[in-house]
A = this chain, B = another copy of it.
C-alpha cells in the first residue's frame, strides 16, 4: 500500500494505492487520524488505485467517518471507487454511510 496526500483549502485528499488489508490498514488509520487530530474533518479518499480492501479497511473508514461527522463538522467521502470494491461495499451496507463521487474533482468541489 502507498499513500499520497494533498491538502486543499477546504479538504485533504488521501490517495491510496494497492491493498488495504489487516497488514496495511493501521498505516491508513494513522494518516487519517493525523488529519482528524489536527481538526481537518473534510476528507476525500481517492480509491482509483486501490486493488483490495478488506473489513480491516472498512473498519478504519467507519471509525474515521464517525469522527468526521460528529457535531456536523465534516465528512469523509469516497472518490473513484473501482467496480468490484463498490459491490463489496454494497454487501457491507456502506452505500448509506458515505457519499460516493466518480471523480476526485467532484469530491473536492463539494466542500
Contacts and interface: CB of A to CB of B under 8 A. Distances in A.
Interface string A71-111: 00000000000000000000000000000000011101111
Count class of interface residues, chain A:
10 to 19
A9 B105 contact: no
B111 A13 contact: no
A108 to B, nearest CB: 5
Contacts of A105: 13, 104-105, 108
Interface in A1-29: 6, 8-11, 13
Contacts of A13: 105, 109
Contacts of A109: 6, 8-11, 13, 108
